[in-house]
Amino acid sequence: MTQDAIPDVPGAVPARRAAATDIALVGTGAALVAVCSLLAIPVGTSGVPITLQTFGVLLVGAVLGSRRGAFAVLLYLLVGFAGLPVFAEGTGGLATFAKPSVGYLLAFPLAAWVVGLVVERGSGALVPQVVRLTLGGLAGTAVIYAIGVPVLAARIGVSLVEALALNVVFLPFDAIKLAVVVIVAAAVHRAYPGLIRG
């Protein structure tokens, strides 16, 4: 059969391009979260440092959307649990499951998905983009705390109330990170308006 005899499949080339774009964006998102993990500042007695990981997770969800954002963070976690030192303080491998911060890590894909979902669902609606991005970031942060804090409490042997008190130190930094996520994500969406589809 000659090349000319092969029938064209409508939409095949655009579908392949879309898949290649998705793969590239997922890989880039995973790399962004890994880079954001390089800076880690030990604080308090919880054993959980201040990092830019949550900034990366929220930004990936806000920019790439629910599906691609969650996949990007899952890829980041898979690479880290496989042994590459992409987690905070240059750690990685299965030993990470024994750390107090593992709950936060496990919450990241769900947080990225929630952020993206909120941004997608409001796209094209009357809700301003900045409001959608802020609500998405707040929802994603709540997911991270809802999973991370109970795991932290169990790991270090304190009550849930004590674990919440230990996390108060992170709140101002999380507020700053959220504000920067909103600014950066809004700028990206202005430059690439078709990046997220509702």
Tell me which residue of 80, 92, 66 sits closest to 30, measured CA to CA. 80
Rg (CA), the chain: 19
In which element (H, E) is residue 26 found? helix 12-36
pLDDT digits (tens, 9 = 90+) for 42-93: 776 666 888 999 999 999 999 999 999 999 999 999 999 999 999 988 889 9
13-191: in CATH 1.10.1760.20 = yes
AA letter at 77:
L
> From the first residue on, what is the mean pLDDT of each consecutive set of 10 residues in the chain (198 residues)?
49 72 95 92 76 96 96 97 91 90 95 96 74 96 96 93 91 95 95 79
Q: Count of CB atoms within 10 A of residue 22's CB?
A: 15
pTM for the full model?
0.88
